[in-house]
């Protein structure tokens, strides 16, 4: 997570430098490699890439202050509500009664059940007496009547066992009923304020089972929404800062919950990320920030919430992302910088503190805010010319061919014909030449376009469709 954010920050701080550095390796047709000192390196002021005053993150969420907990009070739709004991807006303590069920019918059912159990117990007693009588008679009966007595006794014993089972089942049923009667009054689990109270008629018509909500007292939390583009960048227990919309007040906290179920609302006022059109077409995932303290906040208050990216290291002076700093053979640190003649040099620097969470380090000595530095590249050599104009970097390979030699993407030499065309070793036309028009290739099109990376689309746009002709636009 931290790494992803660091990458975002680095891209924002030195976008120009990175773009120039990358472009140098994506050119298809390039001039023959010049001598080390004849190259060109892009440099920018240290002040432009100093992370001591860098903007930490551009992720910003709109949030609203809500209770730490909102308890939904549900009803058993199989039961009848006798009385609602509170009104909307009432403050209730934990354990306070909220409503009661109608238990009159339950009490009648309980009484009937107890009578039924007593009846079955009497049946068992009667059957046991019959068994005793039959066993007594069996002793004096003839051998032919013995089987009849045995059959009668076994039948009564079976009836007793069945009745005993029915009694156990009925007792369980009545115990549940008694428990319901004992808990006919529903109480609040938390201290808070009654909200969204519905009538029994509304419950019946709407078909829901939530009679009311109780919003807890005490600590607050902030509800925000992330979209599918950035929800993955958030994590539980991540540090966040809430900012007042009207003054400089801030509140710190951590993410306590991230919902995996998207909300369906199309309201785009709950997140500031990209365009408003984007927000109307993306799903929103609620997450909650538990505040360390809610002092000075009110329920329903709107705040701006940002991640606390980076560390608490207090930074001043010059700090650079560690990618700028290289190590020489002697173990010393240096950066690529422009000297007073505009030539590239290895500038020795002394490092101070480092911030691993942000990936930057302090430059204790060796650089000033006004110095010009370059983002490292493998082909840099001391003595190379430098420029602060990014356009010169993209133009140096287009119009600064010194010896007329051109190389293909594999590094093989190709020939520039006398007609201005570019040919491969087997003589086939790459671009230009007398036959260009016949082949559907516009000689005016610059073929030194990028073939990789984000700018590849420009190359596609510059080439005519197969079998067609360029319109020159």
pLDDT tens digits, residue range 397-411? 554 444 444 444 444
Q: 230 and 286: one domain? A: yes
How much is the pLDDT for 145? 86
- Domain end residue (candidates: 324, 359, 390): 390
How much is the pLDDT for 405? 43
**20 is a domain residue:** no
How much is the pLDDT for 469? 42
For residues 48 and 367, is the Cβ–Cβ distance under 8 A? Answer: no
Q: 164 and 175: one domain? A: yes
For residues 349 and 333, is the Cβ–Cβ distance under 8 A? Answer: yes
* CATH number, domain containing residue 327: 2.40.420.20
**195 is a domain residue:** yes
**356 is a domain residue:** yes
Q: 92 and 196: one domain? A: yes
Q: 190 and 175: one domain? A: no
Q: Round to whole Å and give the CA distance between 16 and 375.
A: 10
- Predicted confidence (pLDDT) per residue in 25-56, tens digit: 333 333 333 444 468 999 999 988 888 765 44
**402 is a domain residue:** no
* CATH number, domain containing residue 268: 2.40.30.170
Q: 239 and 369: one domain? A: no
Q: 369 and 259: one domain? A: no
- Domain end residue (candidates: 390, 421, 447): 390
- Kindly tell me if the per-residue pLDDT of 353 is higher than 50: yes
How much is the pLDDT for 49? 87
**113 is a domain residue:** yes
- Predicted confidence (pLDDT) per residue in 177-219, tens digit: 999 899 899 999 988 889 899 998 888 888 889 999 998 877 7
How much is the pLDDT for 95? 93
Least confident of 180-189, 257-266, 456-465: 456-465
What average pLDDT does range 438-461 have in this prediction?
38
Beta bridge partners of 303: 63, 244
Name the band, by pLDDT with cuts 50, 70 and 90, for residue 466. Answer: very low
Q: 225 and 294: one domain? A: yes
- Predicted confidence (pLDDT) per residue in 227-249, tens digit: 877 787 788 888 999 999 888 89
Q: Round to whole Å and give the CA distance between 432 and 421.
A: 4
Of 136-145, 197-206, 336-345, 434-443, the range with the highest mean pLDDT is: 336-345
How much is the pLDDT for 116? 95
- Kindly tell me if the per-residue pLDDT of 396 is higher than 70: no
Q: 328 and 371: one domain? A: yes
- Kindly tell me if the per-residue pLDDT of 282 is higher than 90: no
Q: 171 and 290: one domain? A: no
Interhelix angle for 390-399 vs 15-23, to 10°?
Answer: 10
- Kindly tell me if the per-residue pLDDT of 173 is higher than 50: yes
- Kindly tell me if the per-residue pLDDT of 343 is higher than 80: yes
For residues 153 and 131, is the Cβ–Cβ distance under 8 A? Answer: yes
Q: What is the mean pLDDT of the chain?
A: 75
Residue span of the structural domain in which 230 resides: 60-68+218-307
The answer to pTM > 0.85 is no
C-alpha pair distances (Å), 261 with each of 51, 228, 264, 306, 367: 37, 11, 9, 22, 50
- Domain end residue (candidates: 366, 390, 414): 390
- Kindly tell me if the per-residue pLDDT of 268 is higher than 90: no
Could you tell me what percent of the chain has a pLDDT over 70? 68
How much is the pLDDT for 154? 94
Q: 93 and 109: one domain? A: no
| Number of residues in the chain | 473
Q: 247 and 224: one domain? A: yes
Give the residue with greater pLDDT, 1 vs 44: 44
Q: 81 and 206: one domain? A: yes
- Kindly tell me if the per-residue pLDDT of 465 is higher than 80: no
* CATH number, domain containing residue 78: 2.40.50.100
Could you tell me what percent of the chain has a pLDDT over 90? 41
Please enumerate in sequence order all residues whose Cβ is within 8 A of that of 325, keeping only pairs 6 or more positions apart, or say none. 333, 334, 335, 349, 351, 361
For residues 308 and 61, is the Cβ–Cβ distance under 8 A? Answer: no
What average pLDDT does range 157-183 have in this prediction?
93
Least confident of 110-114, 295-299, 320-324: 295-299
**How many structural domains comprise the chain?**
4
Q: Within a 10 A sphere around the Cβ of 333, how many other Cβ atoms?
A: 16
**416 is a domain residue:** no
Q: Which residue, 44, 40, 41, is CA-closest to 15?
A: 44
Please enumerate in sequence order all residues whose Cβ is within 8 A of that of 230, keeping only pairs 6 or more positions apart, or say none. 59, 273
Q: Coil, helix or strand for 121?
A: helix
Give the residue with greater pLDDT, 104 vs 272: 104
Report the run of H or E that residue 335 belongs to, with start and end: strand 333-338
**90 is a domain residue:** yes
- Kindly tell me if the per-residue pLDDT of 445 is higher than 80: no
- Predicted confidence (pLDDT) per residue in 77-89, tens digit: 888 899 999 999 9
**120 is a domain residue:** yes
For residues 369 and 319, is the Cβ–Cβ distance under 8 A? Answer: no
């Amino acid at each position: 997570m931290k790494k992803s954010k660091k990458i975002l920050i680095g891209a924002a701080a030195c976008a120009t430098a990175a773009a120039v550095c990358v472009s140098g390796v994506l050119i298809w047709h390039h001039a023959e490699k010049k001598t080390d000192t004849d190259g060109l390196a892009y440099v920018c002021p240290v002040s432009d890439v100093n992370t001591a005053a860098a903007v930490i993150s551009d992720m910003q969420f709109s949030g609203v202050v809500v209770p730490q907990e909102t308890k939904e009070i549900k009803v058993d739709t199989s039961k009848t509500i006798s009385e609602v004991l509170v009104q909307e807006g009432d403050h209730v303590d934990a354990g306070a009664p909220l409503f009661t069920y109608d238990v009159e019918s339950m009490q009648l059912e309980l009484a009937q059940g107890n009578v039924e159990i007593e009846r079955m117990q009497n049946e068992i007693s009667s059957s046991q007496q019959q068994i005793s009588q039959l066993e007594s008679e069996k002793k004096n009966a003839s051998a032919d009547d013995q089987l009849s007595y045995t059959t009668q006794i076994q039948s009564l014993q079976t009836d007793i066992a069945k009745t005993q089972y029915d009694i156990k089942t009925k007792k369980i049923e009545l115990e549940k009923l008694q428990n319901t009667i004992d808990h006919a009054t529903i109480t609040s689990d938390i201290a808070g304020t009654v909200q969204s109270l519905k009538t029994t008629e509304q419950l019946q018509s709407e078909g829901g089972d939530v009679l009311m909500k109780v919003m807890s007292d005490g600590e607050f939390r902030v509800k925000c929404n992330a979209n599918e583009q950035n929800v993955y960048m958030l994590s539980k227990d991540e540090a966040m800062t809430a900012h007042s919309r009207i003054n400089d007040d801030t509140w710190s906290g951590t993410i306590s919950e991230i919902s995996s179920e998207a909300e369906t609302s199309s309201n785009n006022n709950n997140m500031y990320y990209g365009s408003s059109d984007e927000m109307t077409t993306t799903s929103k995932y609620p997450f909650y920030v538990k505040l360390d303290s809610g002092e000075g906040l009110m329920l329903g208050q709107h705040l701006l919430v940002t991640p606390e990216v980076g560390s608490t290291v207090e930074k001043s002076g010059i700090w650079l992302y560690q990618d700028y700093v290289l190590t020489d053979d002697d173990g010393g640190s240096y950066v690529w910088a422009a000297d007073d003649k505009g030539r590239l040099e290895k500038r020795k620097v002394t490092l101070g503190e480092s911030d691993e969470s942000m990936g930057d380090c302090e430059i204790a000595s060796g650089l000033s805010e006004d110095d010009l530095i370059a983002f490292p590249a493998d082909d840099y050599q001391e003595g190379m010319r430098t420029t602060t104009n990014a356009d010169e970097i993209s133009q140096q390979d287009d119009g600064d061919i010194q010896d007329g030699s051109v190389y293909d993407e594999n590094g093989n030499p190709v020939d520039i014909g006398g007609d201005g065309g570019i040919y491969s070793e087997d003589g086939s036309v790459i671009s230009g030449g007398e036959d260009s028009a016949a082949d559907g290739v516009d000689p005016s099109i610059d073929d030194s376009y990028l073939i990789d990376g984000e700018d590849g689309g420009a190359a596609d746009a510059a080439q005519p469709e197969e079998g067609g002709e360029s319109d020159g636009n």
